[in-house]
Structure 1
Amino acid sequence: MKVVNKLLEKLPEVVAEKIPDVKLQDQDIKVTVAQGALTEQKVLPPKLAMHGITLSFEASGEATVRNFNSPGDVDENGIVGETTPEASEQGPRPQLLLGTETGWMRYQVAARVKAAVSASLSFLASEQQTELSVVLSDYRAHPLGRNMREAARTDLSELRLMQATDLAKLGLGDAVAWQARGSLQTRLELNWADVFPSNLNRLGFLRGSELLAVKTSVKAGLSAKVSLTDDYQLSFTRPRTGRIQVAVRKVKSHEQTLSAGLGIQVELLDPAAVKAQLGQLLEALLGPVLRELLKKGQTALELMDGLVEKASKTKLDENQKRVLGMVLERLGIDPQLADPANLPQAWADFKARVAEALENAVRSHIAEGFQYEYLRLNEASTLLEVVVEDVTAMRFHESLLKGNLVELLKWMKASAQPAEFELRNYLHATTITRQQAVGFSLGFGSFELLKSRDVKRQAWVTQENFQGARRMAFLGRRGYEDKLLGNRSQWAVDLKADMSRFAPAPVATDFGYGLHLLQWGRQKKLTRKELQQAVDDAVVWGVLDTKDASSVVSWMQEDMGKHPIETRLEVKMADDTFRALVPRIQEFDLPRFSRALARAMPWSDQTARASPEFRRTVYAPIWEAYLREVQNRGSLMLNDLSPSRAAEIAKAFFQRDPTVRELGKDLQLIESEWRPGGGNFTFAEIIHKNPNSLVRCREFVSGMVRLRRAIDERKAPDELRTVFGELEGMWSTGFHLRAGAALLAEVAQSTPMGLAGVERTLTVRVADSEEQLVFSTTRGAGNPGTP
């Protein structure tokens, strides 16, 4: 730095004479100096070499000096500022706080970064770039009574230009910042149990609609590097002696090409973890058929490898041939074994395709989840905020300067001494490992929905670039505890709408959409009936076919009543599926909604309630008659009928309809009379405890109509608030959410992909177990709700 200081020795006097000779607290200043004049007069050095790069000061740029001395001052960099009680958790968080006896002088210059000889700028925003534009800022803390001219002379005699050695010179309350547009790289530590793609359909490789049960370890981790292109700011501040706070945050974008997105790329850093999960996936594909041949301690994959080897040498007995043929038929491989010598290659090719599909699915899942969370970080929101020792900050200074957070995060994960760092924030969390993913996220701050009995959130997050174009993301979530259908569950719903690119005037067409429904059953010792209820939910939601329900219950029977069991039911629709579904819900189809409400009726072991299909047969005509009577009362009288009248309608069907009377004979007596305080089981009780079903159904249709019009007619995005308000009636009680999920499952059948285009899983975890089971029907060939 001695050479730099020699070159800068004229700077203090040249700049100081332009600064008022007053106290820091007396006046707000902004002094601008043309950098061209400073470089021509050799007041600023023409070049500065560091870390394999060359820093040159832009002749066309402007050097500025500003002061910050009281609350209300605005630092466009967001380093200095004030906190307010109204500040949201996702809003900007300044590193240096106004409102004390301390103020700041900020010295700022613009520069360009080029690669030094034989070096490459891996952090350029695109391959076509050969240099990077950056803004360097040096913040100096001073008492408010300090003379600004004298402070400038002192500060500029030791100007800090973001070299590693400058970090050791930071005084208490000082900061240096580096702002650039480039490729930002971060590291994610993920839990396999949460990251494993819920869309097992694309990993099934099965010819028919079959139950797939994949084991995942709840302790197994997965590391990934995520790269994206955006404008970011790196800052180092001194919160206390011997410690430096490192912060990386989003800033206003300089993106000029509106068609360009974040360009997110994912690299999996732990091939062994993926290979282990591949083995579990292959076990799920093979296990059900090979079970009869498995020996103790042998895996299905080991058995299959052995059978293929024997088949290629024609050494199989008849039973082995039969079983192997069934496996090959299941996997879509020629079961006739016309040329056994080719079987090993066919089997190897199949495993390679599954491996490729798994890696692609995981990368896609991580990219989509990261983008979801990143787009919902406000401009100037912090990505990473950690306090470390000086030596650590200097150690990772170079990689951080180049937009690489990976090395620092890797060191934090491997650190044997947690006291070596204090993680304050990493993508709105205080832990490096991402867990408990909810909705479209990877667990970045979403799971709090399940920590509260009733949460409703609507918010817009908008990022604006320097051209005035905007990139927007809508946050529409609802979470609550299920109080009416038992105490085993909490629910969360996430309506996704966001833009991956900037637009001058965003409209609804510019957004990508999605919908996620979650039911989380807390850990408890489940009886067989309670487990059947949980599995029944999965059938109602279209996650499992009816024929698979008993298989899942049998799978878990050894743990029933012995260990606490946690269940997690999820349905997720991405943009293509959701857009295909919306046009199919554009009018109030009374029979369709009646079928959904009937399927949502509570499970019991009586025949009429034992399966969604039986409930549809028994209760759909009752719901249709009830809703029609409410509807016929006129638009001003859409409130519910009395529970007594609801019981009368049910009684009529149980007595006169031959099908209802036959299937529902065990319930005829209880359904024929309204008994106040009787619970939440009969048709009349459901009406009483879950009011306004007709209004909710009609408003749900209204929301879908409004959404389609907003997209087709290119309406302003604010329309989405109203859409969310109208849709949420179908998920504001546990019963209506069941009905809404049943409705969506039926409608999804008519889309081009059917239920195979909907991500659907039932996850079951036994307490204290290191494994969980993820169930899904691979194709969803059944047609829930069809009369």
Structure 2
Amino acid sequence: MSWSINIPVVSTLKLALGNAAHDQALGNADLGGSKPIPIPGGQVSLGAALKASVELFNDPDDKDAHGIIGVAPKESDGSTVEPLYSPDGTACWLKYAAQLDAEATGVGPFPFVELSGGGTVQVLVTDYRQHTATQTLEAALGADAKSLRLPFLVGDVQALRPGDALSFQSALELKAGVKVSWSILSGSLASALAKRLAGNLVFDFKVEAGASIGGTVSLKDEFRLVFSRPTVDGPFRVSVRKATSDSAGTQVGVGVTLQYSSPLLAAILGAVDSRVQDALKLVEGLENNALTPVLLQVAGAALKQLGFLKSSDLTLASIRAAYDELKAFVDSVVSGALKAAFTYEYVRSTEDSTLMELEVPADQLAAAHGDFISGDLASIQSRVKNAWLKRYFHMKTVESERSWGLGLSWRDVNFATQEDRRKLKAVVQHASRDHRNGPRRYAFLGARSYSSSGLLYGGRTSSWGTDFSAQMPRYSLTPSADEFEFAFFAQRKVEDALSKELIQGELDAATVWGVLRPEDLVELVERFFRVAPGGTQASSRLELRVDTDSFRKLLAKLGTEPVLERQAFARALARALPRANQPVRRNIDRREELYTPLWDAYLKDGGRDWTRDRARANVGYHLKTHAGADGASAAQWELSGLTGTFSDVLEQSSRYGGDIGGRPYGKVHAFWKDLLDKLSALNKAIQSETVIPESDATSVVQQAFVALDDLVCDDFRVAAFMGWLDMLGKRWGLEAGMQRSLTIEVGEKRFVTSHG
């Protein structure tokens, strides 16, 4: 039985379909009838109370959300379904779409949590009807209403005329409840309260404190099928797309948190005051606004020790207000800890997509139809004959993200926040069902970023990061390193109140990156500082992009001039030293002149035997000897080891790796040498056309990112590397493919300086 519909009331019923006065969305039609629909795992039914949206496509610019009607792109990589039809002034299309939801259930394990719950299956069916542009809307709707079709019925599919299409799309989304034990969250809560108390805090959890808190996880599986018939009595065109993705997330509401928090609140109150003998009874009294005089005193003392009660007036109202503040604090900490527990520092998500376009002979459609509408890709793959296959595309994406963060705050004051993020994304695309031997192409993206903010950083927010991408523009039977296009991007951003010190520092950094010339700094400092009153919110952003050609040339040149490359890095390290209120540090040219010999000696030694004392002794002697009248005071400052001194920078930039065989301060050299080695290995792989394995973390492509990734742990190393790239780019004629820019925003004014 086909659908029956009641035609919607439309004011343009008497107009021809090609008339521009029609809206694309014509309204909704009421559906009558009921029909079982097979879906993976069972059946759902189209009920009698459904609505079907009706759309008209009579212009090439009309957009079809499901991609059947439209204009094909000029260039396509095969990863998306191209439109079947396009309005051309003589033909128009009416689209009837109906969607239903059905319940689904599921249970299963999930790391660290218990999983149980239910979800929905969404089924969307669409019927596309071709009409002449001269036919009236009323006549077209009347004709279609008599014979609307379903893709689940083989008879309806076989009745397709040229220009028509039937589509079926199901989206299975399993939304499941999860529970995380309070014991997982207690560490975060204890740490937050200990910071608030400026002391240690020990929780004594009882059995009843093992309550849990909820969140959600989801699994999405989308299946899309389109039937059409280009010619009368010809083969049927079938398009199949299946995409699966999974993700984890949390949704924590205040009500949910507080519903389970009484045992935890009792443990908190009992941990800070030994007089709290029955903490659960105390919490119950607080929740019900019913405290005896004795419990009122006990609650007041406990809340005061926790820092939530400021008033000495121990009234029920003041106690309850303090208790509510404690609950809000607990909710905030628990919510954050739950999200961290859900993503457990390392989040991994996978997306798997397959696209096939087939031409199925008319006499074989009936036998294959059941497999097509099952949504079971394995069954479809086994049924499909190679002769039917006109296009095949499969893509698998594996994405991983790791992050850590530290925060120190008091009430609404952020003392310090640090965050470090690392994201990797690997994509494999297949153009054949033979995934082992067929054509395929790879893409890889690695990103690393770091940020800091808060009072301990002078109220300044800073961030920096790098992106490295490698992707194959074409398919290959044996993907090799020479078939990749590479790109590199780096960014540094600072936000703070406008001051001359801020502008001087940011322009100095831009000079290190190669955006500005040293001789332009004085004029630019005054220009930017005068645009707004001091204290106005300001931001600075440095960017460097290296395109494929220049990156390839850089790889090919590395190692050909080892002495020059080392000396260039020594110069870059000297220029990247922090600008300081010392004559030897204020000017970038002066820094380069005085500190390059020190860094060059360090690099020659490979950092071996460079201790804190040796670094201070070397820089002190060197400045006394070569810095002229400024030598004595500069040497004394460097010998102090204060923040920003040569030994301090060397120590801070080496401490992430620790002692490496007699080189406690050798990491600056080690990171640079490792980068050289891995980029050289990548170049050798390109020259020798080395085959790259699929999603292999040890491949030369991904190892190049690992080396670049290590740079971002330290802003000094980032600045030095950017300066080094700038020098090598000028030396080897790579500047055409290196784009550098500085953007400064002060209030509503924006200044952009670009180089490259």
Instruction: State the TM-score bracket (shorter-chain normalisation).
Output: 0.3 to 0.5
Higher strand share: 2
CA radius of gyration, larger in:
2
Higher relative contact order (CA 8 A, sep 6+): 1
User: With structure 1 as the length reference, what TM-score do the two structures score?
Assistant: 0.44
